[in-house]
Amino acid sequence: MTYTQTRGSSTGRADDHDAVDDVLRILEPDGSRIADDTLDPWVADLSPHELRALHRDMVLTRRLDAEGVALQRQGQLALWAPCRGQEATQVGTAHALAPGDFVFPSYREHGVLLGRGAKPADYVLAWRGEEHSAYDHTTINAAPPQIIIGAQSLHATGWAMGAQRDGSTDVAVAYYGDGATSQGDVNEAMVFASSFRAPVVFVCSNNQWAISEPVTVQATYPIAGRAPGFGIPSLRIDGNDALACVAAMRWALDRARRGEGPSFIEAVTYRMGPHTTSDDPTRYRDAAEVDEWAQRDPIARLEAYLRAEGMLDDSGMDEVARAADALAAEVRAACIGATTRAPETMFDHVYAEPHAAVERQKAEYMDYLAGFEQEGAR
């Protein structure tokens, strides 16, 4: 569904089953192609190579995600936020970006980082506790994954306002979940973005659950209906349809580059696994709900379409599977082979220049560590 300033609410409640299907899509769950006047023009030029690349990166994201979960279960990572089921939203939107665009992800956007060119170690070293940020944000144009819910929306808006003043056509993108829309940061960011016509895209991955609370606690009506209240046009799309995700992001980016300001995308998807590896979703959601969403699997959907169109065969699938296994092996090697630095190095690079307060904290911490050595010597 498309929302504008004059059409800012849906007739369906967020807790109605029909409201979940009240979305724009191009691919049905069985992979069949349907027409959509809003989305079709934005993906009309996608080549077979680009479509196969979408599928490939979605498969790689799922394999990477499975490896992250396994590494955490084996004690190699402190935590992992699974993204299984959300690959289309992440990969589809990321594939629409230009090199100069800058993304501000939450902790779950592994597929976005893959699309921006992250290296194997980039996915795991921060979750292992080895680095504050595992990658150089200047090389992949991605901010460190944000743990504070919704804070990245303000960072993205500020970056966009800076790009605007620099005369750049680059666009900022903030990714967050449905639960973040209840945070003040997200709403404040939308006020600033609208008021200053900032070139920023807000991507809300509505995966139906904010930790253990259903989306119906966050929003009585579809979340995309909120944005027009801030003067921000929005699209509500099927987040398990990779083509719809590419199309929606292209629409939003085009608006931003033409100086028309921010856009909001609600991608209706589903978190198939736990909120994080410290969570047990069986305590708060019905297995039948999970089974129902499994029938809408984003990778199977795109694969069915590509096979039906003769763009993908068993040989191509084997190549993708090998690439996914190779990525997982590289991620595992980067994690297990990481060298743990001395604990006091956590104070390095907090500021670009020496800082008296940080130096004092470091000295106090060194005294604290020395106390353990003295105890051991007794």
- Active-site positions read 271, 275, 284
Q: What's the DSSP call for residue 339?
A: P
Length of the chain: 378
The answer to whether 239 and 267 are in contact (CB under 8 A) is yes
Residue 203 is inside which H or E element, if any?
strand 200-206
Distance CA 211, CA 279 (A): 8
Measured between its terminal Cα atoms, the distance across the chain in Å is 71
State the DSSP string of 29-48: TTS-B---TTTHHHHTT--H
Identity of residue 122: D
Residue with tokens 């990477």: 64
Identity of residue 371: G
> How many CB atoms neighbour CB 291 within 10 A?
9
Q: What's the DSSP call for residue 149?
A: T
Q: What's the DSSP call for residue 213?
A: E
Identity of residue 303: E
Q: What's the DSSP call for residue 142?
A: B
113, 143, 174, 282 from 105: Cα distances, Å: 8, 7, 6, 27
Residue with tokens 């009506």: 221
The residues, any chain, with a CB within 8 Å of residue 166's CB and separated by 6 or more, are: none
Burial class (CB within 10 angstroms; exposed 0-12, middle 13-18, buried 19+) of 357: exposed
**Which strand ranges, in their side-by-side order, compose the sheet holding 2-3?**
2-3, 234-238, 263-268, 200-206, 172-177, 102-104
Within 100-171, strands assigned E span: 102-104
